[in-house]
Amino acid sequence: MDSKCNRIVVASRNGNGNKLTQLSKPSGVIVDDLGNVYVTDTNNSRVMRWINGAKEGTIVASGNKTNQTSDLLFDKHGNLYVFDSINYRIQKFLIESN
């Protein structure tokens, strides 16, 4: 059986930097109920969100709050939890709706 799959790149590796199209060592990804993609951008020390259909991301959290993030998840109330492997902590972020 031959199946076809359409692929769309929503984010890609562009190295370290602060551009909204750059990712460096992304390690965690999750999609919310609205189809928005959240990525832990580990080497850029931030969590990015790509709104469904967007050409570039937005920064959800950055700086010392997100040093070496490794994974993320949502709870049933829509709160975002980010795992920070360097600082041995889990942080909770309240996410604004689109």
For residue range 3-27, what is the model confidence (pLDDT) as tens digits?
Answer: 677 766 666 666 677 788 888 888 8
Question: CATH no. for residue 76?
Answer: 2.40.10.500
46 is a domain residue: yes
52 is a domain residue: yes
6 is a domain residue: no
68 is a domain residue: yes
Average pLDDT over residues 73-92: 88
Positive or negative torsion for Cα 54, 28, 72, 66: negative
| Cβ contacts of 80-83, under 8 Å, gap ≥ 24 | 80/38, 80/47, 82/40, 82/47, 83/28
Above 70 in pLDDT, residue 65?
Answer: no
18 is a domain residue: no
- Residue 89, pLDDT score: 87
39 is a domain residue: yes
- Residue 81, pLDDT score: 93
The residue segments making up the domain with residue 42 are 26-93
60 is a domain residue: yes
Q: How many domains does the chain have?
A: 1
